[in-house]
Homo-oligomer: A and B are copies of this chain.
Amino acid sequence: MDALDRALKEGGFGAYVAFGTSGDANILYLTRFSTTDPILYIRKPGERGLIVVSQMECERAAKEATTAVISRADAGFFDVAKEESNPWRVLARVIGRQVEGPLLVPPHLPYALGSELAREREVAIDGGVLARMREVKKAQEIRCIRDVQHVCDIAMDRALRMIRKAKVRKGLLFQGAIPLTSSFVRSAIHQVFVQNGCIPSDTIVACGEETAMPHRRGDGQLREGEPIVIDFFPRHEKTGYFSDMTRTVCRGEAPPEIAEMFGAVRDAQDLAARLIRPGVSGAGVYQAVVDFFRDAGYESGSRGFIHSLGHGVGLEVHERPGLGPSGEELRENSVVTNEPGLYYPGTGGVRLENTGVVKRGGFSSFTRFERELVL
């Protein structure tokens, strides 16, 4: 009996109902079934859950999903659709054939479906049962994320080698005769990912002023003596788990402001790594970093340290727990990032990001990669 079962029993719910593709991390977590077409998920108390899929997916789902599987036809879809044209109402009536009583639904259930269901019965929104289940990772999940981080380390090594070995002419980086651009380095990183069974997302390779915008993807030729921020979060194509990593480097001597920011960010990351452990609040660790930066002469909020200190990582790249101003108590076996950063328009940005697991002994980083500014 897991936390969802307990919530269903305690709340007197007939079932937990979700609808979406495996792009929805809750659906993937509950089914382990990868699908680009939306499926209906129904979990009654004490049962292993049921998915309703199209005819063409039945055989695959029976092999791959951790749930029971029935076809849309067997669930009565086509019978209902004869009497009803609105597809959301059809879905609500199909659910009605499977479940009696009040329903528990995820906050992201499509409104069109939720409002149909709510016409006929009580619909309660899960206030965090699933998110809290997903927050504490099982050993197998921790291995999956660690494996992805290992691929990240290989990719970062490849990217930094390219930057280190580049020729510099008039302040611009070249690989042989070819300009070494953001997109060239990004493509090399992505090759490492796909060679290792991972799917890239919005990989950042940003240089110079662009680095003051934390999520700017980066464009154009890389330059000497300017900060280069490399941030990526690949997802394993089989397991669906992410890891998340950032390094900031500079080819050749760094501007003094950037070198000072780098030192402060590295020290802040070390400080946070010492503080993270089960029972402390994410907000407390965040505040300690804010205080540390303040003492070092850096503000937080709209300039300087403008984002949170970290976030959970799992089947979503950003999930619980948060290490920001409203971060709750950290729990053992959560996987989180530790990613302080400083950003000043006109000067640039510095960010260092490790991913690791919250253990009784403290933060155990999966990321072992060196943190050196100057290449």
One of B191, B201, B216 near A36 (C-beta < 8 A): B201
A100: Cβ under 8 A from any B Cβ: no
Tell me the bound Cα distance from A207 to B6 in angstroms: 43
A142: Cβ under 8 A from any B Cβ: no
Contact string against B for A residues 312-332, beta-carbon threshold 8 Å, 1 for contact and 0 otherwise: 000001100000000000000
A110–B112 touching, CB < 8 Å: no
A301: Cβ under 8 A from any B Cβ: yes
B88–A112 touching, CB < 8 Å: no
Tell me the bound Cα distance from A23 to B108 in angstroms: 14
A306: Cβ under 8 A from any B Cβ: yes
One of B34, B111, B306 near A115 (C-beta < 8 A): B111
A138: Cβ under 8 A from any B Cβ: no
Q: How many copies does the complex hold?
A: 2
Give the shortest distance, in Å, between A183 (CB) and chain B (any CB): 7
Tell me the bound Cα distance from A343 to B58 in angstroms: 13
B307–A54 touching, CB < 8 Å: yes
One of B111, B187, B201 near A111 (C-beta < 8 A): B111
Can you list 26 A-B pairs with a CB-CB distance of less than 8 A? A36-B202, A54-B307, A55-B301, A55-B302, A56-B213, A56-B214, A56-B307, A59-B212, A59-B345, A60-B214, A60-B215, A73-B302, A107-B111, A109-B111, A110-B111, A111-B114, A111-B123, A111-B125, A114-B115, A115-B125, A183-B197, A187-B197, A191-B195, A193-B194, A194-B194, A194-B200
A residues contacting B by CB (< 8 A) are 23, 34-37, 54-57, 59-60, 63, 73, 88, 105-115, 118, 123, 125, 183, 187, 190-191, 193-195, 197, 199-202, 212-217, 237, 301-302, 306-307, 317-318, 343, 345
